[in-house]
Amino acid sequence: MSCRTVFHGDCWATAALLKLQFEIVSVQAGIESLEVPEGDSLESWLSILNEHPGIEFAEEDRLMHAFDWNAPDDPDLPLQWAMYQLGLFLGQDDDRAWHRSTGSHAITVCIIDSGIDYDHPDLASNMWINHHEIPDNGIDDDHNGFIDDYYGFNFLNDSGDCIDNYFHGTHLAGIVGAACNNSLGVCGVSPNVNLMACKFLDAEGNGFTSNALRCLDYSLLMGADMTLNSWGGVDADSLSLRLAIHSAEAAGQLYITAAGNDWGADIDEHPTYPAAYNNSNILTVIATAENGQLAAYSNYGQTNAHIAAPGSHILSTVLDKGYGYHDGTSQAAAYVAGAAALAMAAYEQAGVNVSFGAAAIKAAILSGAARTPALADTCTSGGILDVAKALSLIPEHVLVNEVAGCPHCSGQLASYPTSRLETGALAPTSNPSDAASDPAWPQIKLARP
């Protein structure tokens, strides 16, 4: 290996003495260079030259790098303001989450929502696939109790076709894991991930709690590492929902949910569910605008909400292979789901199985939150999602500590007391006073006797 040494001073005599060939680098500054003979130590030569009375100083000819930035080539990335704010790909290595991990196809995020447009070109490569199931043949090939559940399942019509006919699930899927650097559209937070679709919301964003529970059970049965639940309601406290989330908690499956868009409601005072349940595996997310302030539509809760994430003017995938902007705590929760997927991938790449270690992932996400005065009283962490910081808190070399597997990963679905559910119509809410912002967030409303 050849190295070069730049030195300064009256050194021609020295050169002759040392039998080295010097070259002029800068006549003005009196800098010259030499090539260290092959096989010689750079350090030894630096030491010899720096001690020589005819040489003012000698130093290594350091290699420089062009300041080019290998940005992903997705043409709409510049419109994704949140991706720039989250610490994914900007700055020095330690400031970039993607330096640590760009996700893994060993990690599965089940999006319990209106389905996913699995044919969307920015989503197709990251769709979860049940490889033991043959799609569209009318047969339950893997004998898991669900016919043709190839990308997930649709509990609205008990079919394997979980295609989105609303927009909501597809938009969230793109935030979590749209393909990146594919010269197309947008990037997801976790460019490599498995997106499992479970559909319980219909074409207007309405769905019954019982079907949401069936989705949660399905996600456990099929081994999803976490679920994203961007829906709920202020009157939706339900014993069935509590029991189902408890089963996910017992399995160590992360349950990410949105605080709701009731225009600044305190969910400690006026709880919305499932956001306000206190299970240890729940991460409840509030939304911020581009300026880092709590978004006007976002609920909050010093006890019941955990962390903020971008939720306003969010560009992501929508139906018909398109892209569109939507606002809401739903979107904020999807950013946290993407971050959790990256964190799980980072653990996995360190040799630690945390696929059912909700506590470790939740701790990393919350400990990494960037605290700001504006968010101090809005959630337990008092801060906004910082993906790079969260990943930096995962030790480089962690002891292999196998987390207990999912007790629900085989066998039949557990039965829930769905007969106790009395569900009514669900409707997205929006504030007519702010037509520019339409936080579509499906609400569960239970019709009580």
Which of these ranges, 9-17, 142-150, 264-272, 436-444, lies near Ca ion under the rule CB under 5 A? 142-150
Phi, psi of 178 (to 5 degrees): -65, 145
**46 touches Ca ion (CB under 5 A):** no
For this structure, is 266 an active site residue? Answer: no
For this structure, is 246 an active site residue? Answer: no
Which of these ranges, 119-127, 210-218, 316-324, 431-439, lies near Ca ion under the rule CB under 5 A? 119-127
| Helices and strands, number each (H, E), in the chain | 10, 15
How many Cα atoms occupy the beta-carbon half-sphere of 188 within 13 Å? 35
**Coil, helix or strand at residue 163:** coil
**149 touches Ca ion (CB under 5 A):** yes
DSSP letter at 404 equals P
Site string for Ca ion, 315-354 (x = CB under 5 A): ----------------------------------------
Site string for Ca ion, 67-96 (x = CB under 5 A): -------x----------------------
> Where would I find the beta strands (DSSP E) of 162-259?
192-199, 226-229, 254-258
Comparing every residue's Cβ against Ca ion, the nearest one is: 74
Cβ nearer to Ca ion, comparing 149 with 225: 149
Active-site residue, from 238, 312, 330, 392: 330
| CA–CA dist 286, 270 (Å, integer) | 15
**146 touches Ca ion (CB under 5 A):** yes
**148 touches Ca ion (CB under 5 A):** yes
CB of 123 to Ca ion, least distance (A): 9
Which of these ranges, 114-122, 275-283, 331-339, 346-354, lies near Ca ion under the rule CB under 5 A? 114-122
Residue 313 Rama label (left phi>0; alpha psi -120 to 50; beta): left
| Both structure tokens of 165 | 């006919």
**161 touches Ca ion (CB under 5 A):** no
Which of these ranges, 43-51, 61-69, 131-139, 202-210, lies near Ca ion under the rule CB under 5 A? 131-139
| CA–CA dist 90, 88 (Å, integer) | 6
Beta carbons within 10 angstroms of residue 34's beta carbon: 21
Q: How many chain residues touch Ca ion (CB under 5 A)?
A: 17
| CA–CA dist 403, 419 (Å, integer) | 34
For this structure, is 65 an active site residue? Answer: no
CB of 41 to Ca ion, least distance (A): 48
| CA–CA dist 368, 86 (Å, integer) | 11
Active-site residue, from 101, 104, 113, 438: 113
| CA–CA dist 33, 4 (Å, integer) | 6
Beta carbons within 10 angstroms of residue 12's beta carbon: 11
Cβ nearer to Ca ion, comparing 146 with 255: 146
Helical ranges in 55-125 per DSSP H? 81-85, 97-100
Binding interface with Ca ion (CB under 5 A):
74, 122, 133-134, 137, 139-142, 144, 146, 148-149, 179, 182, 184-185
Q: Point out the residues that are catalytic.
A: 113, 168, 330
